[in-house]
Amino acid sequence: MDQLSQVETIFVDGLKHCHRTNDGTMRSVETDFFVGRCDAVVEGHCYDDSNGYTVIYPWKRYSELSAAQREYERQKLAEYEVALANSIPVSDLNAAYLEGVNSI
């Protein structure tokens, strides 16, 4: 399933702050807004649907949220690179490149 069609459950506290885990006092909501986002980004936003429509807005500074997301993406990329390096030997990648795109 691609990220665009995923929905995840987040939890909203009394201050409308978003969380990935419920402490037992929060209400759950489903949204696709936070798919692919790190915990710090989720927890730096508020979720308000009290007026009949949904508004998601940051309560922390954008620069802080952006830096956290960039670091999260760097870590994920490193994990993917390790997984890829362990799944397909470089010699096979080189041979596939020489043979053509559809040879793997």
For 13-46, what is each residue's pLDDT tens digit?
999 999 999 999 999 999 999 999 999 999 999 9
Each residue of 34-61: b (16+ CB within 10 Å) or e?
beebbeebbbbbbbeeeeeeeebeeeee
Task: Please determine, for residue 5, whether its predicted confidence score (pLDDT) is greater than 70.
Answer: no
Mean pLDDT score, 50-57? 94
Q: Can you give the C-alpha Rg of the chain in angstroms?
A: 19
Lowest mean pLDDT among 2-11, 17-26, 49-58, 68-77: 2-11
The answer to whether 46 and 76 are in contact (CB under 8 A) is no
Judge whether residue 12 has pLDDT over 90. yes
Question: Which of residues 55 and 85 earns the better pLDDT score?
Answer: 55
pLDDT number for residue 87: 78
Sequence spans of domains, the chain: 3-103
pTM: 0.74
Which residues does residue 11 pair with via DSSP β-bridges, in sequence order? 19, 28
CA proximity to 70, closest of 40, 104, 98:
40
